[in-house]
Amino acid sequence: MLLNGVWEYSLNELPGDDYKWGKINIPNNWYLEGIEHSGVVYFRKKFKADPHLNKEYILKFYGVDYFSDVWLNDIYLGYHKGYFQPFEFLITPYLKKENILLVKVNSPKEDNWPLKKKLIKGIFNDHDCRPGSRSPVYGQDYNTGGIWNSVEIIETDGIRVKLIKIYPLLLSSGKAIVSIDCQIENYREPQKATIKYSVEGYNFSTESICSSKQVFLQRGNNKVKIAVLIEKPNLWWTWDLGKPNLYQARIEVETEEKKTKLIQIFGIRKIEIDKDWSWYLNNKRIFPRGTNIIPTQWLAEYTKEKIKKDIELLKEANINAVRVHGHITREEFYSKCDEEGILVWQDFALQWGYEDSDEFIAEACSQIEDMVNFLFNHPCIGVWCCHNEPTNSNREKLDFVLYQKVSSLDSTRYVNIASDLRFHHYPGWYYGDYREFSGLPGKPFINEFGAQALPSLESLKEMFSPEELWPPKWEKWAYHDFQYDQTFNVAKIDKGRNIEEFIKNSQEYQAKLLKYAIEYYRMAKFKEISGIFQFMFVDCWPSITWSVVDYKRIPKKGYYALKKAYQPVLPVLKIRREKVLEGKKLIGVLYVINDTPHRYEGASIQISLQREDKVYFQFEKEIDIQSNCSQLIHTSSSLNSEWKSTKTLIPGKYTIELTLKDRQEKILGINQYFVEVVPAEFKD
């Protein structure tokens, strides 16, 4: 029985009998209900039930942010700390026909924010993409507190399959062993039971593997282990390398009087990352074309429809891996990544600085165990990361303990102690020039790089009043995360004469930087670079950030640059200079990057030089494209020889079009470049 719907609420204090409670929709973050508040909120729900003597009843909360105390009919049920974990209480003795459920939720501001935080909320209470950015005055605005996910009363018989945890192991023989740990609750006296289990395809057809075993269930929690051998497993792959095959395990428990069941979706795959950050999926080396995602500031609004839209945008942009940055998001997101074949790097909800007390470390260990158990069965998850950009003191103590904890809980995935500045590089935004990406900063593995860009005019008009929008009121823009110094003094973006020009210039700069960086990184695939994750994908609230898709899910120009640069098969031309002197030849190198397992024999590359929509010169060459590699097609000298018949280049702007086709003339990849020929006396 779902208890979702209209509840009552009161701020700060539990009111007396004559108090008129406010009305609020649950599930929701209270900010989305128009309540700008940090601290305590009491929630009350009156409901009817029809409890039966031979049944058991569990009250389950699927997500409450952050501290919660729960009472049913004036009986204190217990306490919970955290924002992402489901938790529950057995309420059989207390459930009546007429009931009052009372929940005290406390989501406070932190006194020692931001360097010595105590709340494990990651980017939800400290980040430069959230409301107020890192302002000491406004950086904790728009609190994320509330009962943000469903509340349910579960009716069950005397036994219940509470949890299934699945360990798939891919053997060197090609077979797979699926080890299934079942947690079974027996609310009655000790009794014999029969466990019937089956494993079969979930999104593909296969014969069901079925069997059964006899067990003896003690009163309370029971752990039962089952092992299933699959002779020819259908493996889970990312969408660009194969099919994301999923299985389902069905566990049914029968006693003399009752039976219950639970179904768990899982996948069979092997994920490895070595000390050189080389990634392997099912024993095949892969190249993650990734991005970072913080899809929302308030989890209640991240509906299945929005999740579906985000996954569609990710796949359309040719992204095969995503880093859930500095938080744990809704479980439905991971299920969709399972189904669609997107690999996930999962951060724990630690962002920058926290206190180092033994009490905090113990709480962090408890919650990181919750994260691993909560998401364990999702085949999409390949990496656990304990902390994003920790302080030195956190790295030395807190993160080491967390790393040991996660490593003891899960041997099937890579555990990264922290994602720190070694992995994060921002030339062209925080320092220097974007062309520094040609030096491959951060090699061999980069999981943050990028630049800010303004969202669409439609989105900006919803963020700012006309007086704030143009000319810009910079203090208002800073609240929405805009970085003035980096925009004008590092990136040197021209503000233009109006907001339309500013949007165009800003988005074009981000697109140019991303194209340049990604191409250089991918050209060095498997030689010096093992994978990349751009920062970041979408705005989590109406803001101005590094995203390529704004809060309204309107793509920026950077999205289309990312989409093109992340094509699984990509032709890349790197010319020596963007400005060519009159009469000189175009000099550069030509690469083809192929991230697929397919070899394309008899493929062709066509290069055309166009000026004013007319083809100025064109040549086509047959090539054999090797599988899963970065392949040099032409050196500078050999490419220059192909242009021998080129007319002397006269001043003007030129477009270079690259088209890569297979033997059947199907387009494999395209790319485009712009060069300007300047007079011979030109001095840069």
Q: What CATH number has the domain bearing residue 301?
A: 3.20.20.80
Looking at the fold, whether 43 and 81 belong to one and the same domain comes out as yes
Looking at the fold, whether 297 and 252 belong to one and the same domain comes out as no
User: Is a pLDDT exceeding 70 seen at residue 647?
Assistant: no
Listed residue (457, 455, 448) closest to 553, CA to CA:
455
- The count of C-alpha atoms lying within 13 angstroms of the C-alpha of 581, restricted to the half-sphere facing its C-beta, is 6
Residue 213 lies in a domain: yes
Rounded to an integer, the average pLDDT of 308-319 is 98
Mind listing the pLDDT tens digit for each residue in 15-72?
A: 887 888 999 999 999 999 999 999 999 999 999 999 999 899 999 999 999 999 999 9
Q: What amino acid is encoded at 149 in this protein? A: N
User: Is a pLDDT exceeding 70 seen at residue 479?
Assistant: yes
Task: Work out the end-to-end distance of the chain between its first and last CA atoms, rounded to an integer number of angstroms.
Answer: 72
* Count of beta carbons in the 10 Å neighbourhood of residue 183: 15
Quick one: pLDDT at residue 575?
Answer: 82
Quick one: pLDDT at residue 511?
Answer: 98
Quick one: pLDDT at residue 675?
Answer: 86
Looking at the fold, whether 315 and 455 belong to one and the same domain comes out as yes
Residue 360 lies in a domain: no
Residue 364 lies in a domain: no
Looking at the fold, whether 436 and 507 belong to one and the same domain comes out as yes
Mind listing the pLDDT tens digit for each residue in 407-450?
A: 999 999 999 999 999 999 999 999 999 999 999 999 999 999 99
Rounded to an integer, the average pLDDT of 199-217 is 96
Upstream peptide bond of 288 is cis (omega within 30 degrees of 0): no
**Predicted TM-score (pTM) of this structure:** 0.96
Looking at the fold, whether 503 and 627 belong to one and the same domain comes out as no
Residue 96 lies in a domain: yes
Higher pLDDT, 343 or 259: 343
* Count of beta carbons in the 10 Å neighbourhood of residue 208: 10
* SS3 at position 669: strand
Rounded to an integer, the average pLDDT of 500-506 is 98
* SS3 at position 393: helix
> Taking a C-beta distance cutoff of 8 angstroms, is the pair 147, 178 a contact?
no
> Taking a C-beta distance cutoff of 8 angstroms, is the pair 636, 589 a contact?
yes
Q: Is the dihedral of CA 410, 412, 417, 423 positive or negative?
A: negative
Token readout for 395 is: 């790295």
Looking at the fold, whether 430 and 314 belong to one and the same domain comes out as yes
Quick one: pLDDT band at residue 257, thresholds 50, 70, 90? Answer: confident
Residue entry with tokens 């932190």: 110
Dist. CA 450–CA 181, nearest whole Å? 42
How many domains, in total, are found in the chain?
A: 4
The pairs formed by 677-684 with CB atoms below 8 angstroms and a separation of 24 or more are 677/579, 677/580, 677/581, 677/582, 677/649, 677/650, 677/651, 677/652, 677/653, 678/579, 678/580, 678/581, 678/582, 678/651, 679/581, 679/582, 679/651, 680/581, 680/582, 680/583, 682/579, 682/581, 682/582, 684/579
> Taking a C-beta distance cutoff of 8 angstroms, is the pair 247, 202 a contact?
yes
Dist. CA 332–CA 152, nearest whole Å? 17
User: Is a pLDDT exceeding 80 seen at residue 517?
Assistant: yes
Residue 513 lies in a domain: yes
User: Is a pLDDT exceeding 70 seen at residue 638?
Assistant: no
Q: What CATH number has the domain bearing residue 575?
A: 2.60.40.10
Quick one: pLDDT band at residue 683, thresholds 50, 70, 90? Answer: low
> Taking a C-beta distance cutoff of 8 angstroms, is the pair 382, 345 a contact?
yes
Residue entry with tokens 């009998």: 17
The backbone torsions φ and ψ at residue 249, rounded to the nearest 5 degrees and listed phi first, read -105, 130
Residue 418's contacts (CB-CB under 8 Å, 6 or more residues apart) are: 385, 386, 387, 388, 389, 390, 395, 399
Looking at the fold, whether 548 and 578 belong to one and the same domain comes out as no
Residue 480 lies in a domain: yes
Task: Annotate 534-568 with b (16+ C-beta within 10 A) or e (fewer).
Answer: bbbbbbbbbbbbbbbbbbeeebbbbbbbbbbbbbb
Quick one: pLDDT at residue 81?
Answer: 98
Looking at the fold, whether 540 and 663 belong to one and the same domain comes out as no
Which domain, by its residues, includes 221? 157-266
Dist. CA 207–CA 268, nearest whole Å? 16
Looking at the fold, whether 108 and 252 belong to one and the same domain comes out as no
Looking at the fold, whether 448 and 557 belong to one and the same domain comes out as yes
* Count of beta carbons in the 10 Å neighbourhood of residue 492: 10
Q: What amino acid is encoded at 270 in this protein? A: K
Rounded to an integer, the average pLDDT of 192-199 is 96
Residue 329 lies in a domain: yes
Looking at the fold, whether 488 and 625 belong to one and the same domain comes out as no
Angle, in degrees to the nearest 10, between helices 358-375 and 331-340? 40
DSSP tag of 489:
I
Residue 589 lies in a domain: yes
Q: Which of 155, 182, 208 is the last residue of a domain?
A: 155
Q: Which of 523, 547, 565 is the last residue of a domain?
A: 565
Quick one: pLDDT at residue 648?
Answer: 66
Give all strands of the β-sheet with 600-611 in edge-to-edge order. 579-581, 667-678, 652-661, 600-611, 614-625
Region of residue 609 (phi > 0: left; psi between -120 and 50: alpha; otherwise: beta): beta
> Taking a C-beta distance cutoff of 8 angstroms, is the pair 322, 340 a contact?
no
Mind listing the pLDDT tens digit for each residue in 533-559?
A: 999 999 999 999 999 999 999 999 999
Quick one: pLDDT at residue 640?
Answer: 57
Looking at every residue in the chain, the average pLDDT score rounds to 95
DSSP tag of 490:
I
Rounded to an integer, the average pLDDT of 128-156 is 97
> Taking a C-beta distance cutoff of 8 angstroms, is the pair 175, 231 a contact?
yes
Quick one: pLDDT at residue 635?
Answer: 77
Q: Which of 117, 133, 155 is the last residue of a domain?
A: 155
Looking at the fold, whether 94 and 242 belong to one and the same domain comes out as no
Quick one: pLDDT band at residue 645, thresholds 50, 70, 90? Answer: very low
Q: What CATH number has the domain bearing residue 28?
A: 2.60.120.260
